[in-house]
Amino acid sequence: MSDPVIVRCRDNGPFVLPASVQVVDADGKPFAIAAGKEVIALCRCGASKNKPFCDGAHKGMGFAACEKAPAPAAS
């Protein structure tokens, strides 16, 4: 079984994923990802002019999202 893809929720910013994932539109057509990238950032603030990718616009619009995953239950 392969390792799971990790999606990192960056505080007050985008979702960051390995560039090995394929991002497709609603019709299944893939978005191009520049060669050599190790990670990609997906906008979650809605302000990017390059959706679905983050263009840094979240920094100037006061986007706030610092969700933390709950601690694992004790066993």
Interface residues with ligand FES (CB under 6 A)?
13-14, 43-45, 47-48, 54-58
Nearer to ligand FES, 3 or 67 (CB): 67
Longest dimension (CA), the chain: 46
Report, in Å, the least distance between residue 71 CB and ligand FES.
26
Token digits for 31?
């978005």
Report, in Å, the least distance between residue 21 CB and ligand FES.
17
Query: 58: exposed, middle or buried (C-beta count within 10 Å: 0-12, 13-18, 19+)?
Result: buried
Nearer to ligand FES, 68 or 73 (CB): 68
Residue 41: which of 9, 63, 2, 5 has the closest Cα? 9
Report, in Å, the least distance between residue 9 CB and ligand FES.
10
